[in-house]
Amino acid sequence: WTLKHDGHVRVDIFYRAMTPKRKALVDLCGTLFLLLPVMIFVLLSSTKYVGNSWRILEGSPDSGGIPGVFLLKTLIPLFAGLMILQALVEASRHFLVLTGRMNPPANDHDHAEERL
């Protein structure tokens, strides 16, 4: 949700004064060189871990603990997969802005100070 609505944290010292196309370039590079590689790493490194949990239908070792720990661990690669999908959407959007085929989205963060 935060990524989709551009609410994530970034160093805003230089970014705020950039043109929409320059912002799209920075966001595209961040998506391609930071977000996607990290999420691919999380996805690849968690599959064996989650697979082993499913193989034994892992539950909590504590008495009265959660019986379906394997289901909770499944959220790790699911999260990474969904983030990869959102990153691809964001990268496509930034590419379209860079090439002039899409207008940059209005950003509420740019006008937040005016509302205060």
Distance CA 102, CA 90 (A): 13
This prediction's pTM? 0.79
Provide, rounded to the nearest whole percent, the portion of the chain with pLDDT above 70: 88
- Dist CA 3 CA 102 (whole Å): 19
Token digits of residue 12: 């805003």
Look up residue 65 and give its two tokens: 């603990």
d(CA 58, CA 73): 10
Amino acid 107: pLDDT:
61
pLDDT tens figures, 51-60:
999 999 999 9
**Over 60: is that where the pLDDT of 102 sits?**
yes
Query: Domain-by-domain residue ranges, the chain?
Result: 12-103
Decide: 45 and 79 in contact? Cβ < 8 Å. Answer: no
Residue type for position 62: D
User: The tokens of 81 are what?
Assistant: 């997969």
